[in-house]
Structure 1
Amino acid sequence: MRIAFKLFASLTDYLPPERKGNRLELEVEEGVTVADLIHRYNVPERSAHLVLVNGVYIPPAERIRHRLKDADELAIWPPVAGG
């Protein structure tokens, strides 16, 4: 199945060089979870602050259980400080 994996801000450093901007099109196995991809790309869990699948927030406790489906878009943002 095919999904879109997007990392924002400082997290883009975890994507491989063949990415297109902050986006990577991936072919993944059935049953892959949000947590599986966070670990596969070595994104520190503390840095995966805002995690959305198709625009819907996935809380930390659900990431290990939330299975992705074909054509899903997984987007992750780090914590942001501002002023």
Structure 2
Amino acid sequence: MKVAFKLFASLSDYLPADRKGNRLELDVEDGTTVADLIRRYNVPERSAHLVLVNGVFIPPSERIRHRLQPSDELAIWPPIAGG
């Protein structure tokens, strides 16, 4: 099934070098979870601060259980610091 995977800010460094922008269109197996993609792209869990599927927040405790559906968009932001 096809899903979109987006990494923002410094996390985009974890995407393949040949990508365009911060988004990948992926073919994944049925049953793939949010945590599966975080691990596949070696995103440190502590850096996956804000995780959204289709705009809905997925808390850390649910990422291993939340199964992606066809056409889902998984977007991940790192913690943001500032003053």
TM-score by length of 1: 0.98
3-state SS of paired residue (2:66): coil
The AA in structure 2 aligned to 1:74 is L
TM-score by length of 2: 0.98
1:58-73 correspondence runs (5 A): 58-73=58-73
**4+ aligned runs moved over 3 Å, structure 1:** none
Task: Quote the RMSD (CA, aligned, Å).
Answer: 0.5
- 1:39 maps to 39
Cα shift at 1:34: 0.1
- 2:49 maps to 49
Q: Spell out, residue by residue over 1:43-80, the C-alpha distance to the aligned partner (whole angstroms, 9 max, x if none).
A: 00000000000000000000000000000000000000
3-state SS of paired residue (1:37): helix
1:30 and 2:30 aligned: yes
3-state SS of paired residue (1:43): coil
3-state SS of paired residue (2:79): coil
Q: Write the distance in 2 (CA, Å) between the matches of 1:37 and 1:63.
A: 10
